[in-house]
Structure 1
Amino acid sequence: MNWFLLIIAGLFEVGFATCLGKAKEATGNTATYWYIGFVVCLTISMLLLIKVTQSLPIGTAYAVWTGIGAIGTVVAGIALFNEPVDFWRVFFISTLIISVVGLKFVSH
């Protein structure tokens, strides 16, 4: 269950990074709504991270949380912000995915 919550926390990290990027592009009330989304996603992500660190090692939980956030934010950047896709970006994102999965398998 804690690994599931950790994945959800990582997805909310992607959410707050995406909201921040969208807020930067927006103006007026639309920007305000994106900033509200940022605060909501940040709060949920942090609360879930706090919850899972009560039973998972902090080093593992934090590394997985940031890994999911980094991978998801790069994918969101490509999909939503037209960031470039090239061999090296895909290669290094792949190594992050392998590292996150590896941490899951070696953690007790």
Structure 2
Amino acid sequence: MSGSFTKIEVLYLYRDAGNYKIYDKRVLPCSGQYTIDEMERRLRDVLIDEEYFLPRALGISQLDFGYYDAELDHDWLEFIGLCRTDQEVDTDLDFFSFVENMKQLKQEVLP
């Protein structure tokens, strides 16, 4: 463990059935002495296929292009990465709560 920081940016995207993408991010408070690599490893362990999560794990609504074909599209978001940031926190959820939410949702979706 090394280096302390208080905010982390979670970068992700929504990819529809036509491979069109919407990129987004959330800034979460965090605490502890973990490196970015350690935090990303911890998160990937609870993601679906180490890459996907449901938007409700972050407490956000589904990203889409204004249309949604339930036969082709899906609800999953694709995790891109984490980075330290000085931007304003934009959610009440902290990083470790997000990890715990994803762990619980994964168990519901993939028992």
Q: Same fold (TM over 0.5)?
A: no
User: TM (normalized to structure 2)?
Assistant: 0.27
Q: Which has the higher helix share?
A: 1
User: TM (normalized to structure 1)?
Assistant: 0.27
Ranked by relative contact order (alpha carbons within 8 Å, sequence separation 6 or more), the top structure is 2
Which of structures 1 and 2 has the bigger CA Rg?
1
